[in-house]
Amino acid sequence: RLGPIATALAAAGRVLPAGSCDTVGIAGLALGGGVGLLDRKYGLTCDHLEAARIVTADGRVRTVSRSVEPDLFWALRGGGGGNFGIVTGFTFRTVPLLDVVTFALKFPSGTQAALFAAWQEWLPAMPDELWCGVNIDAVTANAGGTFLGTEARLKELLDDLVRRVGTPPAERGTRVLDHLSAMRSFDEPESRPGAAAARAAYVGTSRMLLRPAPDPAAVVEVLVRDPGVGTLI
């Protein structure tokens, strides 16, 4: 799981770009791509996979890489949904441990459409060192993320987002953290369903937008229609 991996790497001064939830398994994350807090700067988790040991359907144990069975290696890096065998080992390339500035902006209810419209135009123009997600539901319009730079520079970038939204956030904050602490600050163990019945009632899905939504207000209208549904963009 990501928690022990991140802890062990941090002790060695290294980071594997990955997700923020301690309980997520590294296998499922890497074989599916692996979105995380540093991916705009360093890429997905699968981009750092150097080799994998896999048991294929014919019972053979293979170690694949860019130079050994490259097609199978490609399929294991998000291209095949983890359906080409049982992967029993991974070799990853890591990056040096860095301090991270985390940030959170909470906008007033009613600004969901304005935030989504501003965010989807603002983020592509931002430096790769900045990662930002938006959380929208019937009452929530929040933005939060990480920046591999100074708080002063981050303030300038966030001021631009606020200007585009057109409404100042009700709350705004930044913190400088080591990467491990930053990762854990985005994990929300208390939000995870606990009992089996609760887990059965919890469903998540995802979609990929290849271009800006032409009508952000119409998208948000659908997203906030059900008070029991939240969207992380």
Q: What is the pLDDT of residues 166-187, one digit of tens each?
A: 999 999 999 999 888 888 888 7
Structure-block tokens of residue 181: 């602490």
Transcribe 32-79 into DSSP letters.
Answer: T----TTHHHH--GGGGEEEEEEE-TTS-EEEEESSSSHHHHHIIIII
| Those residues with Cβ within 8 angstroms of residue 205's Cβ, 6 or more apart along the chain or in another chain | none
Domain assignments of the chain as residue spans, ordered by start: 2-96, 99-188
Of 226 and 8, the structure prediction assigns the larger pLDDT to 8
Q: What is the pLDDT of residues 92-136, one digit of tens each?
A: 999 998 889 999 999 999 999 999 999 999 999 999 999 999 999
- What pLDDT is stored for residue 46 in this prediction? 93
What's the pTM value of the predicted model, to 2 decimals?
A: 0.86
Q: Distance between CA 14 and CA 216 in Å, rounded? A: 39
The CATH number of the domain covering residues in 2-96: 3.30.465.10
CATH 3.40.50.150 given to domain 99-188:
no
